[in-house]
């Protein structure tokens, strides 16, 4: 048994390859088939007399996505996809599909999304999934290298973290309501008081009522939290993480980026230092550019695109008005109307990929905030304990994986950045 990606090790040898038919072609007395096995593509050549007659005839029954086993001799063939060819000596179909729904022609996105379970087999979708896998690996390596400990946070939770309007609610046995986690942050804060530097990496859920190219209802987030870190510290950490992941993807997924026809120059530019501007500066730039906006409002996708257009790499916008941000953000001592927070905006119109902040460390302040945001105190007593028992300044951020993958791959919509997207209007397949 040989992986197609490893055929270089088997030149001149007989191998067995198992996979699916990607392409079929006849030319005179010769038959060609391109087979995919998940590791790569190889062309098999069938010449009458070089394999049993019955096997040669089986070729005519094959259709796209037929599963099969091939035996053959490996030859170096620079013109073939992958650089090798198989002279087939045995062909054994496993299952032959009728009417594979995805033809090599243009399909609408709705159709492809309905057939997402099959669409994943296309070279483009495979390339995206491999980039995504690399992003996960690189994030873990980065945090491990920085001495962060992975701590898993719960998905079923008794409270909101990021506002009550996007909560998914479920019945929790006979204990009333539970909510699907919008962020692991609050639990990560507890873990940071135990382990110092921690991160979590998991699915998060938001009942987003908006249909945009940047919103999923289920998405993956990697979140970091560190005791004694200030806003400045996590800005440095966020910049280190994103530049590391980008460089790792460039180093190991060049082939995939080529399949995606991604212009890699904007990725190559994503090296530190990333520009840092305050919310005030960003707002002034918007108003100068004719995009009128009042102080105090959060930026939307359009504003983020305009702001990031001025830079060739991700930009960090810090110190937004507290009034448009979450309850847990520490106020800026220099101007208490501002939060010690940061959003990282990706270039090329991709917008916010990271949100983070320094957290309120004082118990009384936090109690006031809960009241202001009309959040119930009782289910958050444990969170208040963190301010009662050895409270310290601490900070963290969350990176949205699909937004990052969408930018890295140059995708039009985050729905292609996750294997099975969950959207306002999609729960199938």
Residue 403 interacts with which of ligand 4AD, Mg ion, none, CB < 5 to 8 Å by class: ligand 4AD
Helix (H) / strand (E) containing 365: helix 363-372
Q: Who contacts 318 (Cβ-Cβ below 8 Å, separation ≥6)? A: 231, 235, 276, 277, 278, 279, 340, 341, 342, 343
The separation between CA 11 and the C-alpha centre of its own chain, rounded to angstroms, equals 37
Q: Considering the complex, state which of residue 31 and residue 325 has its C-beta at the smaller distance from ligand 4AD.
A: 325
Q: Taking CB under 6 A as the rule, does residue 208 contact ligand 4AD?
A: yes
The two tokens of residue 30 are: 């010769």
d(CA 249, CA 133): 10
Residue 216 interacts with which of ligand 4AD, Mg ion, none, CB < 5 to 8 Å by class: ligand 4AD
Q: Taking CB under 6 A as the rule, does residue 206 contact ligand 4AD?
A: yes
CB of 343 to Mg ion, least distance (A): 6
Question: Which of 181, 185, 308, 358: binder of ligand 4AD (CB under 6 A)?
Answer: 185
What is the per-residue DSSP string for 104-122? SS---HHHHHHTHHHHTTS
CB of 309 to ligand 4AD, least distance (A): 19
SS3 194: helix
Number of residues that bind Mg ion (CB under 5 A): 1
d(CA 225, CA 359): 10
Question: Which of 19, 44, 266, 398: binder of ligand 4AD (CB under 6 A)?
Answer: 398
Q: Taking CB under 6 A as the rule, does residue 400 contact ligand 4AD?
A: yes
Binding positions for Mg ion, 336-365, rule CB under 5 A:
355
**Interface stretch with ligand 4AD, choices 15-23, 167-175, 213-221, 249-257 (CB under 6 A):** 213-221
The separation between CA 241 and the C-alpha centre of its own chain, rounded to angstroms, equals 14
Number of residues that bind ligand 4AD (CB under 6 A): 23
The two tokens of residue 344 are: 């990282």
To the nearest 10°, report the CA torsion of 57, 61, 62, 64. Answer: 150
**Cβ atoms 160, 326 nearer than 8 A:** no
d(CA 122, CA 2): 22
Question: E strands of 279-405, at which residues?
Answer: 315-318, 331-332, 335-339, 341-346, 351-358, 394-400
d(CA 384, CA 271): 38
CB of 316 to Mg ion, least distance (A): 13
CB of 357 to ligand 4AD, least distance (A): 6
CB of 277 to Mg ion, least distance (A): 16
315-318 and 276-278 beta bridge pairing: parallel
**Cβ atoms 413, 406 nearer than 8 A:** yes
Q: Considering the complex, state which of residue 321 and residue 398 has its C-beta at the smaller distance from ligand 4AD.
A: 398
Q: Considering the complex, state which of residue 214 and residue 415 has its C-beta at the smaller distance from Mg ion.
A: 214
Q: Taking CB under 6 A as the rule, does residue 330 contact ligand 4AD?
A: no
Task: Categorise residue 190: left if φ over 0, alpha if ψ from -120 to 50, beta otherwise.
Answer: alpha
Q: Taking CB under 5 A as the rule, does residue 400 contact Mg ion?
A: no
Question: Which of 353, 380, 386, 409: binder of ligand 4AD (CB under 6 A)?
Answer: 353
Binding positions for Mg ion, 85-124, rule CB under 5 A:
none
Question: Which of 43, 159, 183, 391: binder of ligand 4AD (CB under 6 A)?
Answer: 183
d(CA 292, CA 87): 66
Q: Taking CB under 6 A as the rule, does residue 223 contact ligand 4AD?
A: yes
CB of 112 to ligand 4AD, least distance (A): 20
Q: Taking CB under 6 A as the rule, does residue 37 contact ligand 4AD?
A: no
Q: Taking CB under 6 A as the rule, does residue 354 contact ligand 4AD?
A: yes
Residue 199 interacts with which of ligand 4AD, Mg ion, none, CB < 5 to 8 Å by class: none
**Cβ atoms 95, 41 nearer than 8 A:** no
Cross-strand partners of 355: 343, 398
Q: Considering the complex, state which of residue 308 and residue 391 has its C-beta at the smaller distance from Mg ion.
A: 308
Interface mask (CB under 5 A) for Mg ion, residues 285-324, using x and -?
----------------------------------------
**How many helices and strands, by DSSP H and E, does the chain display?**
13, 18
d(CA 241, CA 143): 8
Binding site for Mg ion (CB under 5 A): 355
Note the residues at the interface with ligand 4AD (CB under 6 A): 161-162, 183, 185, 206, 208, 215-216, 219, 221, 223, 352-356, 396-398, 400, 402-403, 414
């Amino acid at each position: 048994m040989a992986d197609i990606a490893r055929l270089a090790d088997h030149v001149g040898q007989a191998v067995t390859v198992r996979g699916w038919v990607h392409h079929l072609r006849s030319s005179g007395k010769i038959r060609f088939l391109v087979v995919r096995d998940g590791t790569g593509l190889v062309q098999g050549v069938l010449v009458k007399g070089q394999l049993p007659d019955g096997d040669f005839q089986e070729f005519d029954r094959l259709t796209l996505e037929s599963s099969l086993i091939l035996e053959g001799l490996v030859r170096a063939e620079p013109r073939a996809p992958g650089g090798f060819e198989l002279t087939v000596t045995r062909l054994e179909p496993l299952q032959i599909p009728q009417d594979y729904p995805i033809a090599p022609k243009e399909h609408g996105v709705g159709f492809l999304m309905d057939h997402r379970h099959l669409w994943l087999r296309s070279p483009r979708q495979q390339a995206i999934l491999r980039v995504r896998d690399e992003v996960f690996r690189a994030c873990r390596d980065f945090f491990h290298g920085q001495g962060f400990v992975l701590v898993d946070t719960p998905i079923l939770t008794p409270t909101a973290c990021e506002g009550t309007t996007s909560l998914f609610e479920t019945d929790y046995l006979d204990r009333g309501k539970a909510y699907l986690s919008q962020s692991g942050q609050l639990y990560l804060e507890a873990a940071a008081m135990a382990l110092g530097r921690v991160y979590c990496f998991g699915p998060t859920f938001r009942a987003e009522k908006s249909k945009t190219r940047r919103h999923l209802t289920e998405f993956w987030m990697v979140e970091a939290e560190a005791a004694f870190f200030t806003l400045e510290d996590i800005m440095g950490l966020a910049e280190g993480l994103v530049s590391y992941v980008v460089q790792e993807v460039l180093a190991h997924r060049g082939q995939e980026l080529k399949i995606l026809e991604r212009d890699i120059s904007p990725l190559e530019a994503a090296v530190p230092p990333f520009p840092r501007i305050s919310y005030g500066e960003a707002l002034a730039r918007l108003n100068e550019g004719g995009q009128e906006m009042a102080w105090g409002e959060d930026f939307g996708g359009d504003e983020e695109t305009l702001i990031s257009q001025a830079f060739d790499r991700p930009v960090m916008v810090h110190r937004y008005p507290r009034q448009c941000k979450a309850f847990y953000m520490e106020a800026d001592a220099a101007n208490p109307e501002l939060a010690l927070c940061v959003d990282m905006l990706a270039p090329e119109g991709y917008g916010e990929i990271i949100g983070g902040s320094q957290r309120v460390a004082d118990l009384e302040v936090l109690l006031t905030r809960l009241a202001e945001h009309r959040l119930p105190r009782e289910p958050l007593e444990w969170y208040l304990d963190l301010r009662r028992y050895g409270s310290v300044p601490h900070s963290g951020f969350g990176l949205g994986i699909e937004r990052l993958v969408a930018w890295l791959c140059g995708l039009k919509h985050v729905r292609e950045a996750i294997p099975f997207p969950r959207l306002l209007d999609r729960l199938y397949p």
